[in-house]
Structure 1
Amino acid sequence: MKALAQTSVFASVLASVLSMAEAKTALAAGVDIIDLKNPATGALGALPLSDIAAIVRMIGGRRPVSATIGDLPMQAGLICEAVERTAAAGVDFIKIGLFDNGDARDCLNALRPLARCGQLVAVLFADRDLDWDLIDYAAASGFAGVMLDTADKSSGGLRSHLSALALGEFVRNARAHGMFIGLAGKLQLADIPFLLPLAPDYLGFRGALCAGFERAAAIDENAIRDVLLAAGRSKADAPSECAAHSHRVCAG
């Protein structure tokens, strides 16, 4: 995902999909990153490993693929096992939610060996008690990226929880550590002009890509193209197969 880093006023677009059919739609529409998760089972609900592996095979390196490990408690052994299983499915990036239901710092430390052979992404939640020091801990543990999201999709979008000043500080802090940065959390088209000047590497979407803007509905190719246009992207801008494969998570 470092190959996707931006410095001007556009951002890569991450589309969260929950099925093979949606992955094909996102690929055809030209999204930059295809993210695999099940919104019915949580903010970072995980898809079955067999589904993840099948979608990775279908994508065939044409786009980077990320996947979540589920809304898991912060127990180091549990988190490490989930990361190893997800890595074995062949994804490029693994998103790990740093929830406030355990020892996130202990989990980050335990993930150091896995971070050495892959692209781990720490996810912090804007609608929870934020521990900004976790950015430092994630960087020290070898995480490649960090993102902000929201845990409760009924509690409002990202910008209803954090000011532009706070979001900008998040981006600057992560950038200082050399990590790539993602912003997500019930983002809509209207949020994009406010977030682009902060220079995140990517913006993550689900509901804005769906029919009727309902995150439980199927994603819609026209809605995806509207988001790509607003983010300053086009189908021609999507990463090449070479760039998509430039960083790959290993399962060792």
Structure 2
Amino acid sequence: MRLLLSVISKDEADGIKNLADVIDIKDPSKGPLGPPNPETVKSVRGAAGPGKVISVALGEASPDYKADAKRAMTMVEMGADIIKIALADVSGFSPVEAVSFIRNTLPGEVKLVLVAYADGAKRGFMEPATLPSIAGLSCADGILIDTCDKTGLSLFDSINTFELENILEESKTLGLTTALAGCLDMGDIEKLASLAPDYAGFRSAITIGKERGSDGVDCAKAMLLKEKLSSIQTESVL
């Protein structure tokens, strides 16, 4: 399990670039998967260096998937290696058709990760259990289960472990990369390790004051997360 740390600026990226396996860029002021300004992506890419993997949030997929694909390409041109797009309200379009179009627009080396919200049912959003099959049918590269409501409830408050296990198992059977995120903290690492996604994502757990929208990360918190993750994985091998 590798560490994905979310940042909102170049300064934050400078602080955690040697701790994160993936530097994720988003703008929390625009929603749970708020797309950042392309110039922010460019500046983070420059700070991280050519060897670091950069993922970028694109927001939620829309019926105008040609516009979504265009926005995705802009992020790639700024330095994104991974594009994340959420499937939330898909009542007005075919998610397979939309994702397939975006996937075919992106260069082959760029990964496309689909996101479902564990707590999205109350808003009429797509059920997370359907995500692996949609990802497989549309030739996406991976899936992420996240939360939409960032006001306190975590991923594990929003979905039961059994359902997560089934989603991860199906995804891995389909050859998809897997990731979990959603108001996760240090205390969730053991449970994450037992589920064994490919990536675990953190934002509020590494920020100063635990405010996901504030500009400033606490490098000591990020280091503790990395050390805890490494120790748990070492124990599982022994």
Structure 2 segments unaligned to the other structure (5+ residues):
122-126, 233-238
Determine if contact 2:73/2:106 at 8 Å carries over to the other structure: no
Pairing of 1:39-50 with structure 2 (within 5 A): 39-50=28-39
Aligned-pair distance for 1:232? 1.6
Identity %: 28
Aligned-pair distance for 1:74? 4.3
Q: Secondary structure at the match of 2:197?
A: coil
Q: Does 1:180 align with 2:177?
A: yes
Determine if contact 1:74/1:99 at 8 Å carries over to the other structure: no
Which position in structure 1 is the counterpart of 2:73?
84
Which position in structure 1 is the counterpart of 2:218?
220
Which position in structure 1 is the counterpart of 2:230?
232
Structure 1 segments unaligned to the other structure (5+ residues):
1-10, 235-252
Higher mean C-alpha displacement, 198-207 vs 135-144: 135-144
Distance 2:118 2:71 in 1: 23
Q: Does 1:126 align with 2:124?
A: no
Distance 2:212 2:128 in 1: 28
Q: Secondary structure at the match of 1:196?
A: helix
Post-superposition, which runs of at least 4 consecutive aligned residues in structure 1 deviate over 4 A?
none
C-alpha offsets along residues 189-241 of structure 1, whole Å, 9 cap, x if unaligned? 1111111111101100000001122212321100101111221279xxxxxxx
Aligned-pair distance for 1:115? 5.2
Aligned-pair distance for 1:111? 2.2
Aligned-pair distance for 1:69? 1.4
Which position in structure 2 is the counterpart of 1:17?
7
For residues 133 and 216 of structure 1, do their structure 2 counterparts lie closer, same or farther at Cα, with a shift above 3 Å needed? closer
Which position in structure 2 is the counterpart of 1:144?
141
Q: Number of aligned pairs?
A: 223
AA at the equivalent of 2:148: A
TM-score by length of 1: 0.82
Determine if contact 2:66/2:102 at 8 Å carries over to the other structure: no
Distance 1:71 1:213 in 2: 24
Which position in structure 2 is the counterpart of 1:35?
24
Aligned-pair distance for 1:61? 2.0
Distance 2:177 2:61 in 1: 23
Aligned-pair distance for 1:67? 0.5
Which position in structure 1 is the counterpart of 2:97?
106
C-alpha offsets along residues 14-64 of structure 1, whole Å, 9 cap, x if unaligned? 010000000000114x21110011111111111111121122122222321
Distance 1:63 1:116 in 2: 18
Determine if contact 1:13/1:32 at 8 Å carries over to the other structure: yes
Q: RMSD across aligned C-alpha pairs, in angstroms?
A: 1.9
Distance 1:84 1:73 in 2: 16
Aligned-pair distance for 1:89? 1.3
Which position in structure 2 is the counterpart of 1:60?
49
AA at the equivalent of 1:120: L
Aligned-pair distance for 1:131? 4.9
Higher mean C-alpha displacement, 37-46 vs 113-122: 113-122
Distance 1:194 1:181 in 2: 15
Greater RCO (Cα-Cα under 8 Å, separation 6 or more): 1
Aligned-pair distance for 1:108? 1.6
Determine if contact 1:98/1:122 at 8 Å carries over to the other structure: yes
